[in-house]
Chain A
Amino acid sequence: MRENGFSLCLISKSAEETREIGRIIGEQLGAGDILALTGELGSGKTCITQGVARGIQVPDEYGITSPTFTLINEYPGRVMLYHMDMYRLTGPEDLADMGYEDYFYGDGLVVIEWAEKISDILPADNLYVSMRYLDESSREIRIAGDSGKAGKISAALKAGGFC
């Protein structure tokens, strides 16, 4: 994670709250943005992505499901959402098969679960969201990035009653 950026930490008390935090984050993101998600199994990465999707206006009839086996799920919204999952990859070299450059440097919002597996090749100006299990329903959500983008998200989360 970047040393000289901006970061904040919040606690979500439920899956619904995690989705709401995701929605607020999604509203601030757009074409060309990359959201790198990290955190152990069951920490809520797909859950927060469900919120992000609503934040960029992916219609409700598109259920946002885990991309672990499919590797990439695509959804139309205000911009395209490319929901990727690195869980099954052995390392960055597997990414070539996925045509990742088309996504990373394309015209959509890229959300990457298990981003730590490809940290070497991620562009520098990502937004990082790391999630941690606290108890059955609560999660710690840490958001970090450059002060512009993460700052805007922080303000939006405050306005939404978080932080």
Chain B
Amino acid sequence: MLVLAIESSCDETAASVVRDGRLILSSVIASQIDVHSRYGGVVPEIASRKHMEAIVPVILQALDDARVSLDDIEGVAVTRGPGLVGSLLVGLQAAKSLAFARELPFVGVNHLEGHVASIFLHERHPDFPFVALVVSGGHTNIYRVSDFGSFKTLGQTRDDAAGEAFDKAAKLLDIGYPGGVVIDRLAKNGDTGKIPFPRSMKNSLDFSFSGLKTSLLSYTKKRTTPIEQNEIPDIVASYQEAIVDVLVGKTLRAAEISGTARVVVVGGVAANSRLRYRFHDDAAKKGIEVFIPPISLCTDNAAMIAVVGDHRLSRGERDGFDLNALSRWPLAFRQEDEKFGS
């Protein structure tokens, strides 16, 4: 099935054309293209309208890049939540309009399930069941995944997400933006054991990164002399290692507890090179297979939404034109092996 997918849950406006939930024909992300050239060079001043301005050019670009027309599209998938309702509605309305005008089936997809499903766009992907770590700026969750739509939450953050811990540390140290990328780069020349930052919640699969952030704040406040540039690599390498340690440790423990030897790592933070290295290294020692998509599929994109959409549309699932956006949409509540989306 040839699916057009749209994603607009947070910062990115994205569209993608994917064949059979496996083959990406195009994947367009607004921040990476010159949206305004399609509007004759009108550059808007206010970022708040960016989804609305980007949505049509992004969809057109996705069709162009895939060398298909709307006549070829067989179904539409769109992110329904979780996210900002105002942002979600832009994508949802576009999807509904297309589906209505072209008489195409459409389904609303969970953004987090999309992240998990992004692994199926990678040549090397696991069979069900597996344990998945979804780790980004806004989310840090461990799931046991038995099938599409069948998730059990094993762990989640109690305060800050891992991506936020990276971003705020970069802000505290004033080393630039985006924080995760800057820290990843600077940490390569640092000593991971130089500063003993805390690893919290050792006896749980839940995460807490707020204490780590406070620990870094205290480290900077206790100093009597300003932090020199040449100290930054050791500081960020130690800080990054504290995050990586708990992400890797808890996810592999979750796999052992739930009796699966397959682990999937997805979301923006899965682009972190130290995290990728440590996952492969630590998992190999435990006989666990690790699957991480290429970096282009880790950050928010629409191709991952097409994977879930293709699966559901192929089974004959349809959503109605009264489908609403959901700001909060957990994949599964704790302790419940429930099916969602009903």
A137 to B172, CA, bound (A): 18
Say which one of A29-37, A41-49, A153-161 lies at the interface with B: A41-49
Which residues of chain B in 172-226 are interfacial with respect to chain A, using CB atoms and an 8 Å cutoff?
172, 210, 213-218, 221
Interface residues on A, range: 20 to 34
Q: Which residue of B lies closest to A73 (CB)?
A: B328
In the complex, chain B residues whose CB is within 8 Å of the CB of A70: 10, 82-84, 138
In the complex, chain A residues whose CB is within 8 Å of the CB of B136: 69
Q: Smallest Cβ distance from B281 to chain A, in angstroms?
A: 28
Q: Which residue of A lies closest to B215 (CB)?
A: A136
Q: Smallest Cβ distance from A139 to chain B, in angstroms?
A: 10
Cβ B48 vs Cβ A94 within 8 A: yes
In the complex, chain A residues whose CB is within 8 Å of the CB of B46: 93-94, 96
A96 to B218, CA, bound (A): 36
B46, B48, B157: which has the most chain A beta carbons within 10 Å? B48
Q: Which residue of A lies closest to B137 (CB)?
A: A69
Say which one of A3-11, A59-67, A104-112, A115-123 lies at the interface with B: A59-67
Interface residues on B, range: 35 or more
Cβ B161 vs Cβ A69 within 8 A: yes
Cβ B10 vs Cβ A99 within 8 A: no
Cβ B163 vs Cβ A69 within 8 A: yes
Cβ B158 vs Cβ A68 within 8 A: no
Cβ A99 vs Cβ B48 within 8 A: no
Task: List residues of B whose CB falls within 8 A of some A CB.
Answer: 10, 46-51, 82-87, 136-138, 156-161, 163-164, 167-168, 171-172, 210, 213-218, 221, 327-328, 333-334
Cβ A71 vs Cβ B328 within 8 A: no
| Given pairs A93-B47, A93-B48, 7 additional interface contacts (CB within 8 A) | A41-B168, A46-B159, A47-B159, A63-B157, A66-B210, A69-B10, A69-B163
Cβ A69 vs Cβ B164 within 8 A: yes
Cβ A66 vs Cβ B215 within 8 A: no
Cβ B213 vs Cβ A97 within 8 A: no
Whether A65 touches B168, Cβ cut-off 8 Å, given contacts A42-B213, A73-B328, A136-B218, is no
A69 to B46, CA, bound (A): 19
Cβ B172 vs Cβ A95 within 8 A: no
Whether A66 touches B327, Cβ cut-off 8 Å, given contacts A42-B217, A46-B210, is no
A65 to B188, CA, bound (A): 30
Q: Give 1 or 0 for each of A120-136: 1 = CB within 8 Å of chain B CB.
A: 00000000000001011
Cβ B327 vs Cβ A90 within 8 A: no
Q: Smallest Cβ distance from B333 to chain A, in angstroms?
A: 7
Whether A97 touches B172, Cβ cut-off 8 Å, given contacts A42-B214, A61-B334, A73-B328, is no
Cβ A97 vs Cβ B157 within 8 A: no
Q: Which of B161, B172, B333 makes the CB contact (< 8 A) with A65? A: B161
